[in-house]
């Protein structure tokens, strides 16, 4: 019977349904944001949210009955779920969210995400993703051009779903470009060595594992007191690895290490890389975006010599998570390293200078969300000047915090001083209550961090001391200042809160 009607009611009345959902959602979102905003009447000091155990949340959210027949016909139930998700999640719009290397979203970020969602574009091939593919190439090239000033014509960038995946891709690129036969033959008995400082992000080690090199192929290089790579130690590591039969392949330098925020000496590392035929990658996931600030971009001196750079707009620039770029001086290398076909054969491209718009071909993936669009929108919205202002403001805020705690003897900076501030936007420090006598600070650090969270006011992270010889001092605070919503008032109140809680520690029991 080819005349019978076939219809489905699951998505009938789409327009009305979305309209109705959005009408109910919008006031909730605005309420959620305004209660986290100190400049608003609706502001609630504890809106960051308190700690809840996984067991508690499981009970609240995991109702198997809902999975059976669905709640589409019961809008009230939909919003009960949404309200609970908002209530028990960490409200990152609160300026007290200082825990990680990213912070809140912002209005244009939300708008960009909505457009991505409505388009539901998969930016793998041009046919289905014409606009977003063109924009990714455009903004990737502009971004890369800030770093690779001598390669304006050939440079470019693509997004990957986080800094780790960008770093992983850079190692694949290194192997495929230096040893093209590995695409077919694999490592094939070769033992490649890679190098990175002891303070680098864990993704370098994970990349070594994923690519079949193994964590043993990662030679961890010593750091100097300021958290930067000791280039003499790098040279020794290369020598050592060679003597053990390894083939030196890749060195990762970091622009803004995870704990200290240190910038490795890129120029010196580039020279070593050149001498030993190493691919020179920079993991600038965190600190790379100082490129936008004329005041602070000198930290990146030498980065123009890199073979690839990871930079995450979702960190220092406040683009919604996740948005991570891998930037290279020669954009054609994405396909040279990643495509299954030779680039000149692929999709009718006649020569390497022709631009590729089937973006997945230059990655190890296929389907992809166009994270680049969020960065494009943020860039045209705030402008290069706006990004500069954002970065400079964050450094000013971090400096203010350093000044404040340096004036109180109970605080001790792990790195830096008012005259010579920490290299990036995180401040690492101990707080020692006046009655505190232990050498190991872990207990009091954890206590203060936990109590701040209990108040629903501040979320701040802590870390073991990674400096050799400093282990005995225990865990310190690592507080990240990384948002235009931070003001001198927030910083002053944070210092006050730490002192109050810290002085109180152990006094009541």
Q: Using CB under 8 A, which of 44, 45, 78, 466 touches its own copies? A: 78
**In the range 342-381, which residues lie near its own copies by CB under 8 A?**
355, 357, 364-369, 373, 377, 379-381
Pairwise CA distance, residues 41 & 33, whole Å: 12
Contact status: 93 vs its own copies (CB under 8 A): yes
CB of 246 to its own copies, least distance (A): 11
Given a contact cutoff of 8 angstroms between Cβ atoms, the answer to whether 89 and 61 are in contact is no
Residues 6 or more apart from 155 whose CB is under 8 A from it?
Answer: 141, 144, 145, 147, 148, 327, 328, 329, 330, 331
Pairwise CA distance, residues 320 & 169, whole Å: 22
CB of 478 to its own copies, least distance (A): 13
Given a contact cutoff of 8 angstroms between Cβ atoms, the answer to whether 401 and 427 are in contact is yes
> What are the E-state strand segments in 277-381?
279-284, 308-311, 324-328
Given a contact cutoff of 8 angstroms between Cβ atoms, the answer to whether 433 and 503 are in contact is yes
Computed on alpha carbons and rounded to an integer, the radius of gyration of the chain in Å comes to: 25
CB of 378 to its own copies, least distance (A): 9
Contact status: 247 vs its own copies (CB under 8 A): no
Contact status: 203 vs its own copies (CB under 8 A): yes
Q: Using CB under 8 A, which of 44, 45, 122, 493 touches its own copies? A: 122
Contact status: 325 vs its own copies (CB under 8 A): no
Pairwise CA distance, residues 405 & 417, whole Å: 10
Pairwise CA distance, residues 283 & 299, whole Å: 14
Structure-block tokens of residue 15: 């327009």
Binding characters for its own copies, 4-43, by CB under 8 A (x = yes): xxxxxxxxxxxx-xxx-xx--xx--xx-xxx--x-xx---
Contact status: 451 vs its own copies (CB under 8 A): no
Residues 6 or more apart from 58 whose CB is under 8 A from it?
Answer: none
Residue closer to its own copies, measured from CB, 231 or 316:
316
Single out the segment in contact with its own copies by CB under 8 A; choices: 321-329, 425-433, 434-442, 464-472: 321-329
Single out the segment in contact with its own copies by CB under 8 A; choices: 98-106, 219-227, 233-241, 431-439: 98-106
**Across the strands, what pairs with 429?**
413, 477
Binding characters for its own copies, 216-235, by CB under 8 A (x = yes): xx------------------
Given a contact cutoff of 8 angstroms between Cβ atoms, the answer to whether 147 and 306 are in contact is yes
CB of 176 to its own copies, least distance (A): 8
**In the range 377-436, which residues lie near its own copies by CB under 8 A?**
377, 379-386, 389-390, 393, 396-397, 400, 403-404, 407
Q: Using CB under 8 A, which of 226, 408, 488, 504 touches its own copies? A: 488
**In the range 297-316, which residues lie near its own copies by CB under 8 A?**
312, 314
Give the torsion through C-alpha atoms of 226, 232, 237, 240, to 10 deg.
Answer: -150
Pairwise CA distance, residues 259 & 240, whole Å: 27
CB of 373 to its own copies, least distance (A): 8
């Amino acid at each position: 019977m080819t005349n019978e009607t076939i219809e489905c009611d699951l998505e009938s009345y789409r327009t009305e349904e979305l309209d109705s959902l959005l009408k109910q959602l919008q006031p909730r979102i605005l309420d959620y944001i305004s209660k986290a905003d100190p400049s608003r009447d609706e502001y609630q000091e504890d809106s960051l949210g308190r700690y809840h155990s996984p067991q508690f949340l499981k009970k609240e959210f995991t109702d198997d009955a809902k999975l059976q027949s669905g709640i589409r016909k019961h809008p009230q139930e939909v919003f009960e779920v949404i309200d609970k998700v908002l209530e028990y999640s960490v409200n990152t719009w609160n300026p007290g969210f200082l825990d990680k290397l990213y912070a809140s979203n912002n209005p244009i970020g939300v708008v960009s995400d909505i457009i991505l969602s409505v388009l539901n574009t998969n930016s793998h091939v041009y046919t289905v993703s014409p606009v977003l593919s063109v924009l990714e190439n455009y903004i990737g090239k502009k971004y890369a051009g800030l770093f690779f000033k001598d390669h304006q014509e050939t440079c470019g960038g693509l997004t990957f779903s986080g800094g780790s995946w960008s770093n992983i891709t850079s190692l694949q690129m290194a192997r495929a470009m230096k040893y093209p036969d590995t695409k077919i033959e694999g490592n094939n008995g070769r033992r490649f060595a890679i190098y990175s400082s002891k303070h680098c992000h864990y993704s370098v080690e994970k990349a070594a594992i994923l690519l079949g090199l193994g964590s043993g192929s990662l030679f961890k290089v010593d750091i100097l007191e300021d958290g930067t790579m000791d280039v003499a130690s790098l040279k020794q590591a290369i020598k050592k690895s060679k003597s053990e039969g390894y083939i030196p392949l890749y060195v990762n330098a970091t622009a803004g290490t995870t704990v200290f925020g240190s910038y490795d000496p890129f120029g010196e590392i580039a020279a070593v890389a050149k001498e030993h035929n190493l691919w020179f990658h920079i993991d600038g996931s965190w600190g790379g975006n100082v490129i936008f600030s004329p005041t602070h971009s000198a930290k990146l001196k030498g980065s123009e010599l890199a073979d690839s750079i990871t930079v995450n707009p979702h960190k220092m620039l406040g683009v919604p998570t996740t948005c991570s770029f891998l930037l290279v001086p020669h954009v054609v290398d994405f396909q040279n390293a990643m495509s299954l076909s030779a680039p000149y054969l692929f999709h009718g491209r006649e020569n390497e200078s022709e631009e590729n718009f089937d973006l997945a071909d230059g990655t190890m993936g296929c389907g992809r969300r166009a994270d680049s669009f969020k960065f494009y929108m943020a860039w045209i919205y705030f402008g290069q000047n706006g990004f500069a202002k954002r970065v400079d403001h964050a450094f000013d805020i971090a400096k203010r915090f350093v000044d404040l705690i340096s004036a109180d003897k109970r605080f001790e900076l792990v790195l830096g001083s008012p005259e010579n501030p920490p290299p990036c936007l995180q401040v690492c420090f101990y707080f020692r209550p006046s009655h505190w006598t232990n050498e190991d600070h872990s207990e009091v650090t954890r206590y203060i961090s936990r109590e701040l969270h209990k108040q629903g006011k501040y979320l701040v992270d802590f870390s073991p001391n990674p400096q050799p010889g400093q282990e005995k001092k225990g865990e310190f605070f690592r507080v990240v200042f990384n948002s235009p919503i931070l003001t001198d008032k927030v910083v002053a109140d944070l210092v006050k809160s730490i002192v109050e809680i810290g002085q109180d520690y152990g006094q009541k029991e």
